[in-house]
Amino acid sequence: MRALGWAVVMAGLVLAGCGGSGDAGRADAVETGDGSAGGLRQVMARLGAGGPAADYLDYGDMAHWRSLGVVTEDGPGQDRRWLSAVGSGFGDFGLNASRLAEPTGINVFTADRGVSVGTPPRTAIRIEGRLDSAGIRAKLTALGARPRTIGGQEGLSMADDNAIDMKGPQTRLGLLNQLNQVVVTDSALVSGAAAAPVAATLGGGPSLADSPDHAAVADCLGDVVAAIIMAPPQPGGVALYGVGLRRPAGTTDRAVDVVCVLPRVAEVGRTFAERFTVAAKAGGRPLSDLVETVTHDEVRSGGRTAHRATLTIKPDGPIMLSHQLLFRNELAALADPSAPADPLGIVRPTP
């Protein structure tokens, strides 16, 4: 599924080494809504509440990885342990970073934050940070882009909405049609296959941060450096899932993953809390193989209550374990037995 971009591909590098459950604890409910979600909440404030981000958003904080030396402005550094998290939020721009920088001026490693939103065909990528907007516009124009007004802003169009040219410049860059419609300023670039999802990701009007459900999950996740918030594709017992990697203070820190479930019915929260530690498996292995501790609590925010599991990953465990549980549909199977077998459409049977 190309909309998941780098996050799916990089997570796949460690899927084979999954497993675990450790000590289980339960804390009292935590009241939040105090901005502890940090950069995730800030980005959500610039995403339209009715846009594609309401269904799916993948967030990443490149500036933090740069501050730790995990990446430089030229690409990955020497520390490989955290690399599977680095491209979160940048979709196919992260996956094809080395091809894009020179011909387009889009260098994800110099960005501050990224978020890829939606499911095909309603998808968009937003990159935030100091951007050479004039240089990017000049290079995209050289590739064939023409002026187009998108969401009331001056933008560029490389093709008709949702068009795919298998012999065009985008395919040579490793993309499909993610640069069809682009709006770029000195602080943000928003791109997508069609104008409508790009316009919804430009900001203005009610934002995703104003949505009580999404705000509650963001507050539940806390200060994360990579995260996904996803609505189930079919109505069921869960309103939203959230998974994230807490921001490490240094490269030698233990990885701490967070799993949040916002239920529609009380039974879902109870089922999740009871089953997660004892029944969760990653790639067929028990959670205890890869996790030192698992603690459970409830997070109240804006009148909503999210159920949270916090996982301290063993030194040799996969730092994106919570993402793997979501990608493999193991999280949905634990929290909501009525969930479809493969909500993201990416799980394939083993030959």
pLDDT averaged over the chain? 86
Q: What is the pLDDT of residue 261?
A: 96
Q: Euclidean distance between the first and final Cα of the chain, in Å? A: 19
pLDDT reading at 23 higher than 60: no
Calculate mean pLDDT across residues 108-130: 96
pLDDT tens, residue by residue, 78-118 = 889 999 999 999 999 999 999 999 999 999 999 999 999 99
- Look at 203 and 249; give whichever has higher pLDDT: 249
Q: What is the pLDDT of residue 259?
A: 97
Long-range CB contacts (< 8 A, 24+ apart) of 174-179?
Answer: 174/92, 174/95, 174/96, 174/99, 174/100, 175/92, 175/96, 175/100, 176/2, 176/92, 178/91, 178/92, 178/93, 178/123, 178/125, 179/104, 179/140, 179/145
Q: How confident is the model at residue 216 (pLDDT cuts 50, 70, 90)?
A: very high
Q: How far apart are CA 36 and CA 219, in angstroms?
A: 6
Does the pLDDT at position 309 exceed 80?
A: yes
pLDDT tens for 248-300 read 999 999 999 999 999 988 888 888 888 888 888 777 788 888 999 999 999 99
- Please tell me which residue, 60 or 10, carries the higher pLDDT value: 60
Confidence of residue 340 (pLDDT cuts 50, 70, 90): low
* 24 — pLDDT class (breaks 50, 70, 90): very low
165 pLDDT higher than 80: yes
Task: Give me the helix-helix angle, 97-104 and 133-142, nearest 10°.
Answer: 90
Residue percentage of the chain with pLDDT more than 90 = 70
280, 257 Cβ separation under 8 angstroms: no
- CB contact at 8 A, 62 and 71: yes
Q: pLDDT for 142-160, tens place per residue?
A: 999 999 999 999 999 999 9
| 3-class SS letters over the chain | CHHHHHHHHHHHCCHHHCCECCEEEECCCEECCCCCCCHHHHHHCCCECCCHHHCEEEEEEHHHHHHHCCEECCEECCCCCCHHHHCCCCHHHHHCHHHHHHHHCCCHHHCCEEEEEEECCEEEEEEECCCCHHHHHHHHHHCCCEEEEECCEEEEECCCCCCCCCCCHHHHCCCCCCCCEEEECCCEEEEECCHHHHHHCCCCCCEHHHCHHHHHHHHHHCCEEEEEEECCCCCCCEEEEEEEEECCCCCCCCCEEEEEEEECCHHHHHHHHHHHHHHCEECCEEECCCEEEEEEEEEEECCEEEEEEEEEECCCCCCCHHHHHHHCCHHHHHHCCCCCCCCCCCCCCCC
- Would you state the pLDDT for residue 8? 32
Name the least confident of 11-15, 34-38, 183-187, 316-320.
11-15
Residue 11 has pLDDT above 50, yes or no: no
pTM: 0.87
pLDDT tens digits, 30-76 = 544 444 557 999 999 999 999 999 999 999 999 999 999 999 999 99
